[in-house]
């Protein structure tokens, strides 16, 4: 990947809020699907420019949490405040105004399969900016260069690998200069080198552009490179949180088990 991330652009609009409150504030969040309780009173605070990684077993509601944060799902109860706005009670137009400030990388990238790589990245720009086609093209090229995908502009998503799709997904998530990035398992299914590259990219974004990021991941070694704070979800609740070292000192049984399984995995 090239080193021109800083040159993507300078955010032209000021942050949505300057109230000094946390950028993301989740309080008492409950979500169930039928009889299955997925989230049972989650509280989560993420400060501006902080990178938080959410850990936990499969099916503990990590991806659901991200979808609640961007308003793709509605909570059963509780509040989700992004940049000072409670998004669970916003009308769709107001919600879309908040969404423009959020970049989302889906677990399987979710690229539009009828559009080329370049058109995928151009999609949000075309709809939310007044830039000329030439300016958009230039920005798309810069975004794709930043993730090492400038050679594959005209390929369809089906013609590139899963790792490449994730990179394009990141470029698309960055298109509107987001203040908050939500990554759903950015390194899953990738080879170790690409996983490290993606990790470095997230770290760089946070360092150079002060982007707030919430990353759902199982890949703790890669996550340590960019994470300020880990949050561990278990049975719909936050079982523990802190830096990796703080988690290692935790006496919470699930956190101990999670970290010991990691140690075993690394040794094997």
Q: Biggest alpha carbon distance in the chain?
A: 57
Give the contacts of 194 (CB within 8 A, at least 6 positions apart).
163, 187
**Measured between alpha carbons, how far is residue 163 from residues 166, 186, 227, 262 in Å?**
5, 9, 21, 23
Least Cα distance to 235 among 57, 43, 52 occurs for: 57
- Using CB under 8 A, which of 108, 161, 210, 263 touches other proteins? 108
Nearest distance from C-beta of residue 59 to other proteins, angstroms:
14
Stretch near other proteins under the rule CB under 8 A, chosen from 5-13, 122-130, 213-221, 240-248: 122-130
For other proteins, which residue of 107, 131, 188, 203 counts as binding (CB under 8 A)?
107
Q: Which stretch binds other proteins (CB under 8 A): 101-109, 135-143, 207-215, 224-232?
A: 101-109
Stretch that binds other proteins, among 111-119, 200-208, 218-226, 243-251 (CB under 8 A): 111-119
Residues 156-195 that bind other proteins (CB under 8 A): 172
Does the footprint of other proteins cover residue 130 (CB under 8 A)? no
CB-based contacts of 119: which residues, under 8 Å, 6+ apart?
112
Asked if 266 is part of the footprint of other proteins (rule: CB under 8 A), the reply reads no
Question: Which residue of 113, 133, 245, 266 would you call a contact of other proteins, by CB under 8 A?
Answer: 113
Helices (H) and strands (E) in the chain, counts: 9, 10
Please identify, using beta-carbon distances, which residue of 33 and 224 lies nearer to other proteins: 33
Strands 51-55 and 212-216: parallel
Residue closer to other proteins by CB (options 31, 142) is 31
Question: Per CB under 8 A, which of residues 56..95 are in contact with other proteins?
Answer: 67, 70-74, 88, 92, 95
User: Which of 27/128 has CB closer to other proteins?
Assistant: 128
Q: Which is nearer to other proteins, 89 or 224 (CB)?
A: 89
92 vs 134, beta carbon nearer other proteins: 92
Are 101 and 90 within 8 A, CB to CB? no
Distance in angstroms (rounded) separating the CA atoms of residues 118 and 134: 13
- Nearest-approach distance from CB 97 to other proteins, in angstroms: 7
Which residues face 46 on adjacent strands? Answer: 24
Q: Do the Cβ atoms of 41 and 237 come closer than 8 Å?
A: yes
Q: What is the CA radius of gyration of the chain?
A: 18
Q: Which of 13, 112, 154, 253 binds other proteins (CB under 8 A)?
A: 112
Integer Cα distance of 180 and 202 in angstroms:
12
Q: Does the protein bind other proteins through residue 99 (CB under 8 A)? A: yes
d(CA 190, CA 163) in angstroms, rounded, equals 6
Does residue 33 bind other proteins (CB under 8 A)? Answer: yes
Footprint of other proteins on this chain (CB under 8 A)?
32-35, 67, 70-74, 88, 92, 95-97, 99-100, 102, 104, 106-108, 110-114, 123-124, 127-128, 172
């Amino acid at each position: 990947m090239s080193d021109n991330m800083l040159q993507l652009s300078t955010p032209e609009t000021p942050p949505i809020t300057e109230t000094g409150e946390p950028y993301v504030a989740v309080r008492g969040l409950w979500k169930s699907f039928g009889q299955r309780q997925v989230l049972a009173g989650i509280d989560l605070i993420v400060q501006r420019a902080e990178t938080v990684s959410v850990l936990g077993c499969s099916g503990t509601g990590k991806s659901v949490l991200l979808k609640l944060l961007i308003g793709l799902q509605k909570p059963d109860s509780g509040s989700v405040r992004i940049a000072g706005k409670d998004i669970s009670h916003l009308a769709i137009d107001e919600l879309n105004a908040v969404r423009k400030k959020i970049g989302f990388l889906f677990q399987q990238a979710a690229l539009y399969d009828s559009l080329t790589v370049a058109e995928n990245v151009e999609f949000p720009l075309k709809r939310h900016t007044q830039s000329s086609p030439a300016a958009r093209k230039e920005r798309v090229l810069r975004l794709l260069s930043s993730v090492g995908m400038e050679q594959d502009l005209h390929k369809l998503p089906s013609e590139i690998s899963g790792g490449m799709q994730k990179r394009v997904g990141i470029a698309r998530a960055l298109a509107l200069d987001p203040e908050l990035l939500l990554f759903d398992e950015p390194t899953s299914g990738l080879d170790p080198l690409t996983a490290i590259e993606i990790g470095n990219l997230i770290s760089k974004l946070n360092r150079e552009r002060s982007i707030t990021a919430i990353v759902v991941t199982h890949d703790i070694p890669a996550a340590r490179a960019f994470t300020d704070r880990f949050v561990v979800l278990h049975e719909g609740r936050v079982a523990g949180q802190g830096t990796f070292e703080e988690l290692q000192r935790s006496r919470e049984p699930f956190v101990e088990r999670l970290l010991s399984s990691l140690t075993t995995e690394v040794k094997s």
